[in-house]
Structure 1
């Protein structure tokens, strides 16, 4: 087991300076740049062996990335990591979806902790990345299933919207692994859960 590292669940999400992942009128994508692509998307996709989504975020991403496989003129087709996004196995946490969700995904089932535990034991040398949705983020955090938090704080104040962390979560201690400013003015803050 010498070189084996435990599979981690990494919550990778962006948030406004005042803690919102959506503004009052919904999702606002962060300013994009090559720097961000390298240290945000690229970083995650080099390390991810599995992706975890909530239903809304899953459907949004499925609709965005899937066409890259068949339609060269689709927006996703021009993005270098579209192939990886489409290839990676995924788990969807949803109480309303049933059957085969498509996009190389399976449904998690009712016991989220058990589903994540099974994933962790099945992946070798890669990590599980959760790119979000507030509901799934809070479900994972409230059960203390997240091993690392990789958050991108964007240079915006939304004033209102959907919070990344809902009130009532348990108190969790974290250690800072990395902080990296990007040329967009955003900062990546990477914390490891102290266990």
Structure 2
């Protein structure tokens, strides 16, 4: 059984849209692309390197796939490039695109069913980076086993959020935590079953 691991950059108010730069995703008039850049430090770089230090395959939405495919094959000397280029890339798309990045495979049919089938296979962990639309599908079907969340000390107010309507209510367990020199929380969570409620009412 393969674990599905989500790695995501999010603001304090849960926005994950266009963390890397203007134009990355300006849909719905989003005007704050690149909100992570000024917070980047060596600790964040080390955290991301550790994230990719074990064998993995990728599960990507079409937009994130296109973004990665336009960069990583052309930057072989960058840290992590070989691991990304060598990994199998499973791509979710509503169309049938030509996937030119090496080791890329289109997920046929229903995406949730396809990812559930991948999880049942033998192999390395499945990592999801970015891919907001795909993530919402995975969350609706309760397919995520672990979250590596980098929570940045910034509030955007609008934009695509990691957890939105349709996410399955579930508990999470914090299994690792770090804080960067710029105040970014680098937290790792695992699924912990159903939400447990209670009451402070003593009567």
TM-score range (shorter-chain normalised) is 0.7 to 0.9
Q: Does 1:56 align with 2:51?
A: no
Q: Does the CA contact (< 8 Å) of 2:153 and 2:184 recur in 1?
A: yes
Extract unaligned runs of 5+ from structure 2: 19-29, 194-203
Q: CA RMSD in A?
A: 1.9
Q: Does 1:38 align with 2:37?
A: no
Extract unaligned runs of 5+ from structure 1: 1-5, 70-76
- Match of 1:62, SS? helix
| 1:182 paired residue among 171, 180, 183 | 180
Quick one: distance in 1 between partners of 2:159 and 2:55? 29
Counterparts of 1:146-185 in structure 2 under 5 Å? 146-185=144-183
Q: Which residue of 2 aligns with 1:104?
A: 103
The TM-score with structure 2 as length reference comes to 0.80
Quick one: distance in 2 between partners of 1:8 and 1:46? 15
Instruction: Tell me which protein shows more strand as a share of its residues.
Output: 1
Provide the aligned length of Structure 1 versus Structure 2: 180
Q: Which residue of 1 aligns with 2:134?
A: 136
- Match of 1:22, SS? coil
- Match of 1:138, SS? helix
1:101 is displaced (CA, Å) by 4.6
Q: Which residue of 1 aligns with 2:86?
A: 87
What do the CA deviations read for 1:54-110 (whole angstroms, capped 9, x no partner)? 0001101111112124xxxxxxx4x22111111111111111233445342111122
When structure 1 is superposed on structure 2, of 52-61 and 108-117 the one drifting more is 108-117
- Match of 1:192, SS? strand
1:33 is displaced (CA, Å) by 2.1
Quick one: distance in 1 between partners of 2:81 and 2:33? 20
When structure 1 is superposed on structure 2, of 80-89 and 18-27 the one drifting more is 18-27
Q: Does the CA contact (< 8 Å) of 1:16 and 1:157 recur in 2?
A: yes
The TM-score with structure 1 as length reference comes to 0.83
Quick one: distance in 1 between partners of 2:63 and 2:145? 23
